[in-house]
Amino acid sequence: MKRSRGLSSVEFAIVGAAVFIFVFAIVDLGRLMYLRVALEEGVRRSARLSAVCPIGDAYARSAAIFSERNWGVRILPNITTANVVIEFLNANGEPIANPTNEANYIQIRFVRVRIVNYTVPVLVPFLPIEYTPQDVSSTEPVESLGVTATEVVPC
């Protein structure tokens, strides 16, 4: 009887630590799933704005990271506009090198927004790993690219 004294405390410490890590993993998995959905919504918003706003509009890039009212800090930690890539594509889906050039401008048919080089630390205790979301992108057909009907000069 004396030899088993305190054994239940040791067993509880081992099992309790495992349960504690498991609960944190479940909560963090939910957080990472929310983060992925927020990234997908951000690139969708940015692609939509890029399709209707002028090429190079800063608001389209900042919409991908929810920068209005400083939401991005709360929703997507450690993300900047440097992580957002906006590409203008031709009819074959190939990126156009200089979309502001007049010859290339008329070839633009789609806009693609991607999130690149973004990592988030996993908050599970004793696991120093990072989550890197893969293939977060959205493609939209272009509409006006910021040009209104009143700006078009008739032939």
| Domain locations in the chain as residue ranges | 7-143
**Rounded to whole angstroms, what are the CA distances from 78 to 64, 67, 120, 121?**
13, 12, 8, 10
pLDDT at 138 (0 to 100): 95
CA angle 42, 43, 46 (to 5 degrees): 90
pLDDT in tens, the chain (155 residues): 566 677 888 888 999 989 998 999 999 999 999 999 999 999 999 999 999 998 988 899 999 998 877 666 678 888 999 999 999 999 999 999 888 888 888 899 999 999 999 999 998 887 889 999 999 999 999 988 877 666 555 54
**Rounded to whole angstroms, what are the CA distances from 154 to 105, 108, 143?**
18, 21, 19
pLDDT at 33 (0 to 100): 95
Rounded to the nearest 5 percent, the helix, strand and coil shares of the chain are 45, 15, 40
CA neighbor of 113 nearest in space, from 95, 132, 91, 98: 95
Neighbouring C-alpha atoms within 13 Å toward the C-beta of 126: 7
Give 10's DSSP letter: H
pLDDT at 103 (0 to 100): 84
> In which residue are the tokens 């088993």 written?
4
